[in-house]
């Protein structure tokens, strides 16, 4: 039964990729190495800049401290105080937009400027990348994460996932063991962990009616039930000329999601599947880290990478 659901998840991912990637070659992918993970963190060179966001953290009524946990070390979980939440954060695997970015950079020798407003110079402004699904490489990355980490993720009680298709596909494959009828894991889609708003069409979601059919095990009730992407449209309407959501604005969304929603769910061990810019804003402009762990925690997530953090919420 478990294998049947895993095969179904893979079939859905491949079907959606085929529908949306006619303009891309299928990219074969071998097993990830440390260097591959490091290179994946260079998807957007703007993440290389370091900004101090202490003023933002200090201005908020709740501080959120993050402590990294070693994968497979169950004694660490047992020794945590009861008010800690154990969160497995995962970035989605490679999407078609990531492949477009990589191909542009390879062919021109210059990284794609994601802030460029001319579609002729920024292909992520073109309609065919809306709500970009996974590539074959992305599917492979998810399968590898499943094979390497499924035994360490058995304690997950709730999976919260961005409503963008590439995140839903990533969660469906990586956490395939949690879809079977015998599993009681709660699957929830939440706008609070979706990617950067404002300009790049790969981050605009497709009609919700299409997505709900593809992922029947996910509860979409917390989202607007119409097909319009109201959150995207509302943010875009603030500006005369489209612009990318700033890290500061994104971090406010992240904080509201973590403090206002995640903190309140009854489950202690949770998986959150989201996006690179969102996770970067979280690690740099929301979470507090111990000094010796700060440098790693603040780096960009690799494609499909999972980091497990113990979060502690402290009110001022």
Section 11-16 average pLDDT: 46
Residues 149, 130: Cα–Cα separation, whole Å: 30
pLDDT band at 294 (very low <50, low <70, confident <90, very high): low
Residues 307, 126: Cα–Cα separation, whole Å: 32
Section 138-155 average pLDDT: 90
Task: Say whether pLDDT at 6 is over 70.
Answer: no
| pLDDT score, position 25 | 28
Tally of residues, the chain:
316
43 is written with which tokens? 């998807």
| Contact (CB, 8 A) for 193 and 222 | no
| pLDDT score, position 241 | 84
pLDDT band at 242 (very low <50, low <70, confident <90, very high): confident
> Which DSSP symbol is given to 180?
S
Residues 246, 196: Cα–Cα separation, whole Å: 8
pLDDT tens digit sequence for 250-277:
999 999 999 999 999 999 999 999 999 9
CA angle 280, 159, 302 (to 5 degrees): 30
Cβ contacts of residue 74 below 8 Å, gap of 6+?
none
- The CATH number of whichever domain residue 294 belongs to comes to 3.40.50.1240
Higher pLDDT, 183 or 304: 304
| pLDDT score, position 18 | 45
SS3 274: strand
> By residue range, what is the domain housing residue 62?
2-21+29-315
| pLDDT score, position 8 | 47
Q: What is the mean pLDDT of the chain?
A: 83
- The CA-based diameter of the chain, rounded to the nearest angstrom, is 54
Task: Say whether pLDDT at 19 is over 60.
Answer: no
End-to-end C-alpha distance for the chain, whole angstroms:
48
Task: Say whether pLDDT at 38 is over 60.
Answer: no
Lowest mean pLDDT among 74-78, 205-209, 251-255: 74-78
Higher pLDDT, 68 or 296: 68
pLDDT band at 174 (very low <50, low <70, confident <90, very high): very high
Q: At what angle do helices 136-149 and 165-174 cross, to 10 degrees?
A: 40
Q: Of all helices (H) and strands (E), which one includes residue 256?
A: helix 247-260
- Residue 279: count other Cβ atoms within 10 Å of its Cβ: 22
| pLDDT score, position 149 | 87
Task: Say whether pLDDT at 62 is over 70.
Answer: yes
Q: How many domains does the chain have?
A: 1
The predicted model scores a pTM of 0.85
Task: Say whether pLDDT at 26 is over 50.
Answer: no
Task: Say whether pLDDT at 28 is over 50.
Answer: no
> Which DSSP symbol is given to 248?
H
| Contact (CB, 8 A) for 274 and 193 | yes
């Amino acid at each position: 039964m478990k294998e049947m659901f895993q095969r179904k998840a893979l079939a859905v991912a491949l079907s959606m990729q085929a529908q949306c990637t006619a303009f891309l070659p299928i990219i074969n992918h071998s097993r990830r190495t440390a260097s591959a993970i490091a290179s994946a963190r260079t998807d957007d060179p703007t993440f290389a800049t370091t900004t101090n966001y202490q003023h933002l953290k200090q201005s908020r009524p709740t501080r959120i401290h993050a402590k990294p946990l070693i994968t497979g070390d169950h004694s660490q979980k047992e020794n945590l105080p009861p008010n800690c939440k154990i969160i497995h954060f995962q970035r989605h695997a490679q999407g078609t937009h990531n492949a477009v970015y990589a191909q542009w950079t390879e062919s021109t020798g210059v990284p794609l400027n994601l802030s460029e407003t001319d579609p002729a110079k920024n292909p992520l402004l073109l309609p065919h990348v809306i709500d970009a699904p996974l590539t074959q490489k992305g599917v492979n990355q998810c399968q590898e994460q499943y094979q390497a980490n499924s035994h360490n993720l058995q304690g997950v009680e709730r999976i919260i996932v961005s409503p963008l298709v590439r995140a839903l596909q990533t969660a469906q494959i990586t956490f395939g063991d949690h879809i079977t009828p015998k599993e009681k894991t709660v699957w929830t889609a939440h706008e609070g962990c979706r990617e950067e708003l404002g300009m790049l069409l790969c981050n605009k979601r497709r009609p919700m009616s299409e997505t709900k059919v593809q992922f029947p095990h996910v509860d979409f009730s917390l989202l607007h039930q119409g097909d319009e992407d109201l959150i995207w449209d509302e943010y875009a309407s603030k500006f005369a000329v489209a612009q990318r959501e700033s890290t500061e604005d994104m971090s406010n969304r992240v904080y509201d999601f973590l403090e206002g929603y995640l903190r309140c769910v009854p489950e202690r061990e949770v998986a959150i599947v989201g996006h690179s810019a969102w996770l970067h804003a979280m690690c740099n402009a929301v979470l507090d880290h111990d000094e010796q762990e700060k440098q790693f925690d603040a780096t960009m997530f690799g494609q499909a990478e999972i980091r497990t953090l113990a979060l502690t919420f402290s009110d001022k």
